[in-house]
Structure 1
Amino acid sequence: MTKDNKTNNHHHLHPNIIHDPSSETSGIIASELAAEDGTLISQDSFKSHTYGSIESETPTTTENYEIDDPNGGYALPKAQLYTVVSSLFMASYLSALDATVVTTLLTLIASDLKEIKNISWIATSYLLSSSAFQPIFGKLSDIFGRKFILMGCTFLFGIGCFICVTDSLVWLVIGRFITGWGGSGLTSVGTMTMSDLIPLRDRGLYQGLANICFGLGSASGGFIGGIIADTLGWKYVFILQIPLAIIVGVVIQFNLNLPEGSPGLGAHGQDIWQKLKRVDFLGSFCLISALMIILTAASLGGRDIAYTSKLFLFLCGLSAIFLGGFIYVEAYISEEPIIPIHLLGNRTVLASSLTNWFYTMGIFATMFYVPVYYTSVLDMSASENGLRLVPNLFSISMGSVGAGLYMKHTGKYYKLTVFAGILAILGVYKITTITPDIPTWQQFLLLIPSGLGYSCILTITLLALIAATPFKYQACTTSIQYTFRSTGSTLGVSAASAIFQNILAQQLTKKIYAIVKDPKQAQDIINEALESTNFINTVPKAVQKAIRSSYESGCRGAFYFAFATVTLGVVSSLFMREHKLHSNLNRD
């Protein structure tokens, strides 16, 4: 809530600083046709893609691992399991909190460091590294083990927070970058670890609880940061996170003891140098570079560099080159790809990934621009705006846990996918019809349908994606989902921002010049209106009406974009197959 309030007052015209609270068809059938022909993809290779499918439930035993089952299908005794899971929830909360904790402190920190002109990098550095490093953790944790990578990420998170206690902007940005690196691993590897511990049939419930913790961290970050800064000073925002990270690390070190044979233990019988030789450094470099460059372009585009500038086009082209290099390396060079490209030939993997991508684009656009609408068109204060976002937090919590309970009870998810899609489309459509006359009670309920649908989809797609692939690929597929989700949030809001800015500028130019006859005065009004909504209250009523109307048109353009992308997400979700959600870790 605090995050959005702050954003509305100061940065809503440049929503390139993205706060991810926690996050998909042509060609889908191609792999199946190729498998039938047998010339492009062997039948043996294709069988791994349909593992666990209800249409083909004959398991490939070589992909399973057998464990004694004294714990009711879980990998650990209940007391130990709950201790580990609670620490993973705390890690998820810290990661989400740190992404938003500086939202209310940007001006304060930048002023204290005398770096107002570079204010955006304080938040952007965390988010760039968090998104760019997401894809590599799956394969790394398969090689080195979940515990080793989690401990490493905890260390990076703590060290990053320690570096942030500085009087230098450069070191603060470096610290935030390192913290984001560690935070992204805590979230994604924590999710992979829960899949090692918990059967798929119950996995959705635990993922729903994890989503609540992530959502609470995102929602409370700005609020907690503001309180700590007012009472102790902004540096304590980072200092106080260090002992929490240490607690998470200690709990994981002494309690995360996976059973023999679990893929979460990493490679067996190899020393550190042998494991390092297995790491796909070239593929990792290409992928991280591609994501870092395109996300930087998306973050700075429209704010610091024009979308039509040579620099922006160069960054996009360079990102495409690195992405092409990554695909080539993974397909033809790397013996152990960081993300096995062939997994995207799996119908459910590709469909669930695209579902996540498109849904996240659309939902984040509405989560950002509905508050902008309330502030600029309905003239609400920050507190009034924040109150209207509270019901959405509860709806997201209910959707995540509700989806998990449904899947635990039924072992199915396809019908729930269709229901969530209908709910999301109707919810976003309702947002596109918003008018300045919207009743107060509808303002509080406006985001609930789309929030419910989205939170259900996050849990469904993760389980569908894991269930659709052999057990040994669950970490890689989890990385795939987090990558699509994190890039979707950044690209979605950046695209919505471009649409909003263009429509707003066009409408202001048209309407202000029609009212104000002095061209210089008219241009000054347009420039001020583009910079801040606070300017609206300082001009005559006729000009106020024109500015508010222009903002309404800009927001509506962003809402139409959200409707289109969510619709694409729903269509993508229909291509997912119903796979079996096993009730134990042996998948039998």
Structure 2
Amino acid sequence: MAPAVSNNSEHESTTQQSETPATQARSENAETQSEEDGGEYAPRRNMIPIMIALCVASFLAILDISFVTTALPTIAEHFKASQISYSWVGSSYLLTQSALAPLWGKVSDIFGRKPIVLLATFVFFLGSLICAVANTVAVLIAGRAIQGAGAGGVLLIVTILIGDLVSPRQRGLYFGILGGVYAIAISSGPLIGGVIAENIGWRWCFYINLPFQGIAFALLVFFLHVHDPRTEIIKGLMAVDWLGSLTLTASVLMLLLGLQYGGEVHPWDSAIVLCLIIFGVLVCAIFVGIEWKFARYPVLPLRLFTTVPIVALFVVDLTHGFLLYGTAYFVPFYFQVVLRASPTNSAVWSLPLAIPLALFTIGTGLYMRQTGKYLYMIIGGMILSTLGTGLLIDLGAETNWPKIIIYQLIIAVGLGPNFQAPTIALQARFPPADGGVAVSAASAIRALSAAFSIVLGGVILENRLSAKGGRLIAAGISSTMADAIAKNGAAGSVELVSQLTPAQQHIFRLAVKDSLADMWIFFVILSAIGLIASFLVGSDELSDEHVEHKTGLEVEEANRLVHEKPRGNYYLEVGKGNESLKDMAGISPAIKSIDLIIRSSVTVQ
């Protein structure tokens, strides 16, 4: 992750000069590649087709998270799926997406961005095809899991690529565009899924991905030109932190399954729920130990979490992800279950959230590009997000258009700035050698927040609704019917509720409304934590300098050595031209590893 490697004479003079000339030399060589690395490097020249490809791939990956809220009932009816299978069609996507995101980032550090983003795009394509032709619900769930695995790689590497291609200050514009695409995909997913499932057929929710994924794949093949380390496959695979990736994936799966099963499929005090949660925590602790002591190239280096501003940015990212996916999922849910809106109408009613969210995300990117500042946008966004989420507690059981519109507008204005600002801030605060893995961590946190927000929100909602079962019985509903409603949950009880009298249906909707209010309190607490963290971020000005991003085992090894010894020792060794350092790193002399180490040795700000 350094500028193009200079020749030997340039290297010798660089080690003898002061830091300012070295910085000037690096600036002059930014965005250029040496001839041995593949010729001219001009990322901006191809940014339009590259951004089209990245936006299309990202749009489809996000769309397949949100469209299931309206397409799932049709899919479940087609396969006569049980409640467990019903939930797995949606959650299997989120599970693999969140659990495998860090692995994609590390693999792209070793093998290069282009081959791995193409691989992730192909995996997503394959998963979409399997879902489209699935003849059983088990095959559909497997296809959704494969889709999620590919989506995790696409969403992560797209974010890293923008950091590779443009300077920190210019990233605001491109991240703003990307964030706008995310916002549109999240909000339009329910509408698109409902329209396709009701009018064309649910399989086309997956078939529609195929041609657009093919276009994105072709554009990336022909127009994306980034550093290619040409890592040997066997050496690269041996360098991957498989043990860390396995334990992280296992921990995430066990925790999410434990939370999803608790209170719905099995009682909270059942052996299976307790074992899943306890062992999930234990395996997470094992993962931390592996990353700390054993992993040569950690999938999630613990050094990323050593300063308060960096931890604060990760917390902001986590809480923003909870709020974003929580509102995108449960606001349409409120419209459909409490206000009895159709799936299509619920998507239309969500436009006051969707349109401003996209506009303010793009506007924040333009602001950061113009000013190079991000702190006030992060703080202001968290303030409005907290306020808007708190106002959702006030939503009633009857349609109130001023509240529906104004509350969603406030949330959208709050969520928009933090769609990409924390990620840009993270990239700006890390040296190039750690930029990719920092974004990997942030993307993994965002993916985990998406999965946990829906699962935890659902757990709170269903458990609070079960606790309010006495209201239903008091309204004249039989205990058998009340138990069935509690077992099926609010979303799965539509047909049962339709059999009740209008007065009893009103009691049910009031119970759901109150349960949602309890759930929004949980989200407000999370948002308040993010708000406090936003004041600890600190402020940095985004740089206009773009340093070419390099990948490969040589860079990984050089970066590892830099963090194993005090920085000063490396400058002494490099100044002496210590040849033993090459042997210790196992790096070919042709790569000029000492020069690489100098350029990678930048401490976290």
Q: Give TM class, smaller chain.
A: 0.7 to 0.9
Gaps of 5+ in 1: 1-56, 259-264
Among 173, 179, 202, the alignment partner of 1:205 is: 173
Amino acid at match of 1:87: A
2:546 is the alignment partner of 1:585? yes
- 1:387 aligns to what? 348
- 1:139 aligns to what? 106
Amino acid at match of 2:118: M
Alignment root-mean-square deviation, CA = 3.1
Distance change in 2, residues 1:541/1:256 (3 Å): closer
Tell me the matched-pair count. Answer: 519
Q: Does the CA-based 8 Å contact 1:365-1:558 persist in structure 2?
A: no
1:160-171 equivalent positions in 2, closer than 5 A: 160-164=127-131, 165-171=133-139
Higher normalized helix content (fraction of residues): 2
Among 91, 94, 101, the alignment partner of 2:57 is: 91
Higher relative contact order (CA 8 A, sep 6+): 1
Among 430, 442, 464, the alignment partner of 1:469 is: 430
What is the distance in 1 between the residues matched to 2:326 and 2:258? 18
2:97 is the alignment partner of 1:130? yes
1:154-553 equivalent positions in 2, closer than 5 A: 154-164=121-131, 165-229=133-197, 233-258=201-226, 265=227, 267=229, 270-436=231-397, 439-509=400-470, 511-516=471-476, 521-525=478-482, 527-528=484-485, 531=490, 532=493, 538-540=499-501, 542-553=503-514
User: Structure 1 stretch 114-123 or stretch 441-450: which is displaced more?
Assistant: 114-123
Q: CA deviation at 1:359?
A: 2.7
Distance change in 2, residues 1:64/1:177 (3 Å): farther
Q: CA deviation at 1:534?
A: 5.8
2:535 is the alignment partner of 1:574? yes
What is the distance in 2 between the residues matched to 1:114 and 1:515? 31
What is the distance in 1 between the residues matched to 2:47 and 2:472? 63
Gaps of 5+ in 2: 1-18, 34-39, 549-601
Tell me the TM-score normalised to structure 1 length. 0.80
Distance change in 2, residues 1:331/1:63 (3 Å): farther
What is the distance in 1 between the residues matched to 2:209 and 2:338? 38
Distance change in 2, residues 1:237/1:427 (3 Å): closer
What is the distance in 1 between the residues matched to 2:25 and 2:320? 31
Amino acid at match of 1:124: S
SS in 1 for 2:543: coil
Q: CA deviation at 1:438?
A: 7.0
Q: Does the CA-based 8 Å contact 2:305-2:311 persist in structure 1?
A: yes
Q: CA deviation at 1:180?
A: 1.3
Distance change in 2, residues 1:109/1:566 (3 Å): same
Q: Does the CA-based 8 Å contact 1:64-1:471 persist in structure 2?
A: no
2:29 is the alignment partner of 1:67? yes
Q: CA deviation at 1:160?
A: 1.8
Distance change in 2, residues 1:339/1:525 (3 Å): closer
Q: Does the CA-based 8 Å contact 2:473-2:482 persist in structure 1?
A: no
Q: Does the CA-based 8 Å contact 2:27-2:545 persist in structure 1?
A: no
- 1:50 aligns to what? none
Q: CA deviation at 1:356?
A: 1.5
Q: Does the CA-based 8 Å contact 2:89-2:140 persist in structure 1?
A: yes
Q: Does the CA-based 8 Å contact 1:399-1:452 persist in structure 2?
A: yes
Q: CA deviation at 1:198?
A: 1.4
Q: CA deviation at 1:383?
A: 4.5
Q: Does the CA-based 8 Å contact 2:95-2:451 persist in structure 1?
A: no
What is the distance in 1 between the residues matched to 2:355 and 2:463? 34
Q: CA deviation at 1:101?
A: 3.9
- 2:86 aligns to what? 119
Amino acid at match of 1:521: S
Among 48, 67, 74, the alignment partner of 1:82 is: 48
Q: Deviations over 1:371-423 (max 9, x none)?
A: 44444444444444333211110111122111111111111111222221221
SS in 2 for 1:317: helix
Q: CA deviation at 1:242?
A: 2.3
Q: Does the CA-based 8 Å contact 1:377-1:549 persist in structure 2?
A: yes
SS in 1 for 2:296: coil
Q: CA deviation at 1:121?
A: 2.4
- 1:100 aligns to what? 66
Q: CA deviation at 1:276?
A: 2.0
Amino acid at match of 1:207: F
What is the distance in 2 between the residues matched to 1:75 and 1:490? 38
Tell me the TM-score normalised to structure 2 length. 0.78
SS in 2 for 1:582: coil
- 2:573 aligns to what? none
Distance change in 2, residues 1:176/1:385 (3 Å): closer
What is the distance in 1 between the residues matched to 2:461 and 2:20? 51
SS in 1 for 2:425: helix
2:120 is the alignment partner of 1:153? yes
What is the distance in 1 between the residues matched to 2:147 and 2:509? 40
Q: CA deviation at 1:292?
A: 2.1
What is the distance in 2 between the residues matched to 1:58 and 1:318? 52
